A and B are shown apart, each in its own frame.
Chain A
């Protein structure tokens, strides 16, 4: 089936998320929509899928104009979508998830026909070698398997057009390869596949046609054979360097020592961080790699004292950090860039100026005798905004109104303003545009060169390779191994699935 989007426009208030976007997807091809986060790719697909109403333009299937008032109609017309955040009901089985919304019933009481759903799952699963058990409960499945369930869900409705929204964001490199293989199979069986991504490697590996979107507009098309630099500059709108310049690290003495640290979730009694020991030296960057949800977040938060530890200790230059208040940890010289910037990094309804003194508001020189001194706060804000190139209309603007990249700069500016011995940055560039990523990486390397011990938690392998002096790979709450950044991607991928280095290499 041929899918054509003609001049699709979607506005949110004054903001134009999609500005007259036109693309055509032929059956039996993979069409990549390449663009940065916030470029409008997902909005476009949500319009196509009937989740948003378009403000203008037309959708054509096999040259016939169609209008979808909801996802149900889009699916009935043969459009399937695998969302970035899976649309699966966690406590349901695979079969129940697949049948949901178009259930077959049986018997006089019209009860659910689970047998039919099971055999449907098995049939599709066998056709594409998915190895998915129809009776498995979805929340017990790995992320990769859940994604395959999503694909089965789409195919069980006879999807002729399959939209994959950032499908590899949560996968290990091996799972990514498997997915790309599946996409290839789907294409060969005649499905039109739309791949939404900002990852150049995948685009080059699988796409037949590439449309690049920037700020809600189509800025051009490209060939899979074009160089990464070319694709990146189309995506960002200016030349970007794909590598981070950094000198060889000159590690000093161990600064931060983590010994047998464990974290247990009090509600479910599940061990999230399991007996982790590692040390970080002054002037080096230790990257924590791994698929999301393998204990990295808990490690960072346990060092900070944000989550309660179940055992083990963290020491900073011989002084114990565990058991101290977060305030004392910060005062000891630990800087923290949290993973969820908007939830934990900033107070969105505070001004930029106030966010910049969140950690120091009650001290000299920002306040005296319990009163904040506005002039000092203002001067500080102006200086930091200048130094970190925060693009804001004013230092009195609400931080929530800034773009993700600029919010992150505010967080960095605040954390780096103290004299640090240790910097912990969780997913420091998640959701940022390429320009901001460059900036953040440079700042982190500057800190390292000043002699700060740096821990980077990242689920993006590219980022890990760009920054790390040593890489600790985590799986199921444990550190699998600590390896050098020369380790190749395949080995890393296997380690991220739990194999030790010697088995993986």
Chain B
């Protein structure tokens, strides 16, 4: 009898949802392993022996001069490929224990593969060197709109609204920043108005999604079309008639004292313009707020189980509208990158699909600000690599290199780099 009662009281605590028997998934291991092997064979052993690749890390403004680094190309490419293989091994080890790997792994893995590619491409080119600092700087810079875009996506989706309109929000931000900045003759003014443009697009999305229950993906795509149409119209009429409304303004680069003189990383991270510094702050603040604050807990509850949130007195649709507007504003601010932060005038459809890549970065970053930053940096690096290889010239057509971020996206979304689970209630309108 006593045995029976023990059994009865302990049984329900074993997590008896009836679905605890897990089988191992090798998808990630196979996917990562295949790419690492290709890298080893093609970049590693494909590099001729006895040649060298030179990486330059110094810039003329460096406080401490670091000499160029010359490495034996074949050995370096092989080593980097083996690092990728080891990381694959770690994924297999974790899969064997039914555990996931952190966001860092696909990022480091991606860097290793791209490093191997870079070493291979730069091998035996005595005239050219690989500008490492320049590469990293442009990687960070190219990642800026992706970071803001994927943060916007994270903010919206965590509350349960799918934001396909990131592209439109970026474009709207870019447009208004150029227009108002030009009118005021000050790039900083552009930075202030850009979030307003993105927020308005976000508001439209929120209204259609929460009040009229329209399919959020459809609304998002339509909003993108709307913004493209509107900005193109004003570009070819108003801005063409009066070029003073569309000037090339630029935010000055601000050096952070001391930090900017750190070798390699200093110039990369701390010789940037204000928008980049704002990005650092936004990522850190959102990471903390989303996971440690009352606001964040409520937002995540609304995105996971809106009815549960409602029954404890949280206003579901109000939260969603606010978050979607906030997300739109963040994306709008990122849009300022294309115009005032890059020193360019506004051009038709100048965001060129970055909003969709941001969406992929959000998924790869598993709906967290930190992950979004890491994933966006990876995509930015791939982009910078394409530019760099275009300069030094390589046997791979640059069109193919331009595809790598998209390829990485498909692999990421297909769950090859670890299973990612979106907020349970995303895309589903909340009706009482």
Contacts and interface: CB of A to CB of B under 8 A. Distances in A.
Nearest to B305: A89
A494 to B, nearest CB: 6
B301 A92 contact: yes
Contact of A70 (B4, B24, B313): B313
B21 interface: yes
Interface string B11-27: 11111111111111100
B298 A497 contact: no
B311 A497 contact: no
Interface string A111-144: 1100000000000000000010000000111111
A103 B297 CA distance: 9
Interface string A72-96: 1101100001010011111110001
Which residue, A83, A92, A503, has most C-beta atoms of chain B within 10 A?
A92
B300 interface: yes
A467 interface: no
B19 A270 contact: yes
B301 A111 contact: no
Contacts of A76: 313
Nearest to B419: A268
A88 B12 contact: no
A145 B15 CA distance: 9
B16 A497 contact: yes
Given A71-B312, A174-B11, A272 B301 contact: no
Interface string A461-498: 00000000000000111000000000000100110011
Interface residues of B, number: 42
Nearest to B98: A269
Contact of A72 (B18, B301, B305, B312): B312
Nearest to B432: A51
A315 interface: no
Given A75-B313, A89-B304, A105-B294, A269 B7 contact: no
Contacts of A111: 288, 292-293
B4 A494 contact: yes
Contacts of B428: none
A499 B293 contact: no
Nearest to B302: A89
A476 B21 contact: yes
A293 B305 CA distance: 20
Contact of A504 (B4, B419, B432): B4
B301 A89 contact: yes
B16 A476 contact: yes
B424 interface: yes
A144 B18 contact: no
Contacts of A96: 297
B18 A293 contact: yes
Interface string A170-196: 001011001000000000000000000
Interface string B222-238: 00000000000000000
Interface string B283-300: 000001000111001101
A81 B3 CA distance: 34
Contacts of A172: 11-12
A477 B21 contact: yes
B79 to A, nearest CB: 34
Contacts of A178: 9, 12
B308 interface: yes
B22 A291 contact: no
A29 B250 CA distance: 73
A87 B312 contact: yes
A99 B292 CA distance: 13
A264 interface: yes
B8 A494 contact: yes
A475 B7 contact: no
B21 A72 contact: no
A83 B7 contact: no
Given A87-B308, A100-B298, A291 B8 contact: no
A100 B302 CA distance: 11
A284 interface: no
Interface string B301-341: 10011011111111000000000000000000000000000
A271 interface: yes
Contacts of A497: 7-8, 11-12, 16
A88 B307 CA distance: 9
A295 interface: yes
Contacts of A499: 7, 11
B16 to A, nearest CB: 4
A274 B22 CA distance: 11
Contact of A294 (B18, B293, B308): B18
A112 B301 CA distance: 14
Given A71-B311, A87-B311, A112 B294 contact: yes
Given A291-B16, A477-B18, A71 B301 contact: no
B33 to A, nearest CB: 18
Nearest to A271: B21
Contacts of B21: 270-271, 274, 476-477
B15 A141 contact: yes
A324 interface: no
Interface string B39-51: 0000000000000
Contacts of A270: 19-23
A110 interface: yes
Contact of B313 (A73, A86, A274): A73
Given A142-B12, A265-B19, A490-B4, 5 more contacts: A92-B304, A100-B298, A140-B17, A178-B12, A499-B11
Interface of A: 49, 51, 70-73, 75-76, 81, 83, 86-92, 96-97, 99-103, 105, 109-112, 131, 139-145, 153, 172, 174-175, 178, 264-265, 268-272, 274, 291-295, 475-477, 490, 493-494, 497-499, 503-504
A-B interface, 8 closest residue pairs, ranked by CB to CB distance from nearest = A72-B313, A101-B312, A497-B11, A294-B18, A87-B308, A271-B21, A144-B12, A142-B16
5 contacts: A145-B12, A172-B12, A174-B12, A270-B23, A498-B11
